[in-house]
Amino acid sequence: MTRDDDTQPTSPDSDDQLLVLPDDLRHELKEPMGPIETDADRLLETVDGPLIAVGDVVTYHLLQAGHRPDVALVDGRTKRSAVDEEIHEAVTAGASIEVRNPPAELAAPVVRALRRALEADEPTTILVDGEEDLVALPAIVAAPEGASVVYGQPDEGMVHVKITDEHRAEMRDLLERFEGDTDRFWALLESDADA
C-alpha cells in the first residue's frame, strides 16, 4: 500500500486543508442525492459504467454481490463506530492508497487520491485515516458520464447517484458553499497536475 506524500497529521491551517463543511450546510447533506436501494444485486442491475463506492458497508455489500468497485473509499467506520472485523478485512484487502482526511473536511491528499483512482486502469481502494463521507461530493463532480456513485444513507440503505450534468452542477454549487480554498480544490480535482 502506498501513502500519499502529504498524509502526515497536520495543523488545521496546513495547506492540506482545502474545504470545510460549514454547519449551516449539514442539513442539506442529510437528504439522499438519488434513489435508496437495500439490495446490492438489484442496485448493480442498474449500473452500466464505472462504479465509485463511498463507505465501508456499501463497499462490503457490493463485494458480497460479486462486484469490486472501480473506486472504493473506506475509513474503517460506520455511523462513527468501528466496522466489524469481517467487513474491515474484506474492504481493505485491496487497499492501494492510504490518505488522511479529517472529519467534515476535504483535504488535498484525498482529492489527489480520488483523481488518481478515477484515472487508474485497475480497481483502486483508498483507505482514509479520518473520514471519507464527504468525498462522495467531489466524486460526483469528477466521475465520467454514466458512472455511478454509491454511498450509504444511515439506517436506510445505499444511495445510487447515476452521474449526469445536472448532478455535477448541483454538487459544484454545494461545494462552492464550503469554507476554504475553493480555487485550489477545483484545480486539484480537475487537473492531472498537483496544484
| Rounded percentage of the chain residues whose pLDDT exceeds 70 | 88
Give SS3 for 195: coil
Q: Indicate the annotated binding residues for GTP.
A: 56-58, 75, 132, 155
* Range name among 28-37, 55-64, 136-145 with the lowest pLDDT average: 28-37
Q: Which residues pair with 169 in a beta bridge?
A: none
Range 59-83 burial, b when 16+ CB lie within 10 A, else e = bbbbbeeebebbbbbbbbbbeeeeb
Nearest CA among 96, 100, 122, 123 for reference residue 111: 100
Is 121 a residue whose pLDDT tops 80?
A: yes
User: Nearest Cα to 115, choosing from 73, 163, 146?
Assistant: 73
Binding site residues, as ranges?
56-58, 75, 132, 155
In the predicted model, is pLDDT for residue 6 greater than 70? no
Give SS3 for 94. Answer: coil
Please provide the average confidence, as pLDDT, over all residues in the chain.
Answer: 85
- Position 67 scores a pLDDT of 93
Q: What average pLDDT does range 27-40 have in this prediction?
A: 89
